[in-house]
Amino acid sequence: MCAAPIADHPYREAVLAELHARPVELVAPNMRVRRLVLTVPNRSGGMKKAMREFREYAVNAGYAMDDDGSRQYQFTTPERVVTWEFHTEFITITWYAGLVDTENWPTDIGLDAVGEVELVGAMRVDLMDEPELPDRVFPSFSPTSLCLVAVEHSNAQLATDFVPDKDKFIRFEFAAGKLSPLRRAITLRRILEIETYRTMALLALPLARQTGPDLRAVEMGLTEVMTDLSAVETTDAVQDRLKSLHALAVRSGQISEQLNYRFAAAYAYGAILRNRLEKLRETTLGQGSSLSSFIGNRVEPALATCEAMDKRLAVLLEKLERAVELLNVRISLDMQIQNKSVLETIAETARSQFRLQHTVEGLSTIAITYYLIGILGYALAGPLEATGIDKALAISVVSPVALIAVFFGLRAIRRGFDKGSKH
């Protein structure tokens, strides 16, 4: 057989493996199935650490583990079949035992391998090989929250009340006598996934309620700053408001960092939950509520609350950004006005210095001319007397010439200094 002439995409194997990453496990007609949902610490490498600890446990316990990068592992103990599944942020431990099994927290399912995880969900499904649910299962359910439906085109029945027992497990009764082994396994998996994703979707609601007052405080702080801004006149006061806005922006960023991932995950879990509920193909049996109605009336308002807070946060961040830009423009205008005033003062000073310089130059010309004429008077006294020319007449003739010569001489010197300073 010839090799393919085209190279594989780097992710081809991963894409193919994903189709079989979590295969449906066929189960016996009468089984008691339990599942724990455990969240992993929200830090870098948390899930990898949990997977490594589980593999170490499995190897030490003598279970064969394929090193193929799979996220689902299964092993068998004398009493039960155990399946571990590693998801993005949580782990599920599911084990199958007989209907008479009463041990809710067995020691052979690998709980010793989980160190820092936290329990967020626990469920128990009693799978029975009967066409309908027997009357004996109903008295232990709470009538106010009872959900009783026919599923899989009315070929099976399911009941629960979503009330945890003393060991924290929520109980489901599942009569699947009319289903084929494959449909029974698929429906069982959907029941487990519905409770799993219901729990994970609702994790966002307590965080939303906890963060709500902080978000409201930032919104009120922004309103106060913007209301007070109209009365602010000095640049220092505007800069103080800008500092307040930066503090509000930092706090809103921290809130956004807390909520973004949790809300995005809740929306994804909610979409999966709706899909699994739809595929149950349930119909009510006249007693109690349907799963879709009961769960939808709790989960949908919770997700709507998260979505509303998400929108509030987005609007708040946008308002803060606009407010900071507005204050920056205000500070820039104030600085331009101050700079204009400074430049006008400098210009006025330059004009005053120019006038003073001309005045000084005039006085300097007169003073130098005066001393020059005096020197010329002494220097020409002898020659004038020898030639018989009148000294006063000669000085009066020389004075204008001296004045003009001094004026142009000083002007040439000043121009020389100006050219030197420019170079």
Residue with tokens 């027997």: 134
First-residue to last-residue Cα distance in the chain: 86
**At 84, is the secondary structure helix, strand, or coil?**
strand
Cα dihedral: 264, 267, 268, 272 (round 10) = 170
The reported pLDDT for the residue numbered 70 is 74
Sign, CA dihedral 227-231-234-237, equals: negative
- Cα(86)–Cα(93) distance, rounded to whole angstroms? 9
The reported pLDDT for the residue numbered 359 is 63
Are 191 and 24 spatial neighbours (Cβ–Cβ below 8 Å)?
no
- Cα(156)–Cα(152) distance, rounded to whole angstroms? 6
What letter would DSSP give residue 112? G
How far is C-alpha 35 from the chain's CA centre?
Answer: 32
The angle, 0 to 180 degrees and rounded to 10, between the axes of the packed helices 235-280 and 181-202 is 160
> Residue 86 contacts by C-beta under 8 Å, 6 or more apart in sequence?
47, 50, 51, 54, 71, 72
- Cα(168)–Cα(38) distance, rounded to whole angstroms? 13
Token readout for 111 is 């709980």
Query: Cα dist. 421→44, 365, 415 in Å?
Result: 65, 23, 10
- Cα(391)–Cα(399) distance, rounded to whole angstroms? 12
The reported pLDDT for the residue numbered 293 is 94
Are 270 and 301 spatial neighbours (Cβ–Cβ below 8 Å)?
no
Sign, CA dihedral 337-339-342-344, equals: negative
**Spatial strand order in the sheet of 147-151:** 72-76, 81-86, 90-97, 31-39, 118-128, 170-175, 156-164, 147-151, 283-284
Token readout for 39 is 């969240």
The reported pLDDT for the residue numbered 9 is 86
pLDDT along the chain (423 residues), means of 10: 74 75 81 95 84 87 73 88 92 94 91 87 96 93 94 95 95 96 95 96 94 90 78 70 82 88 94 95 90 94 94 88 74 66 72 66 68 70 68 71 71 66 57
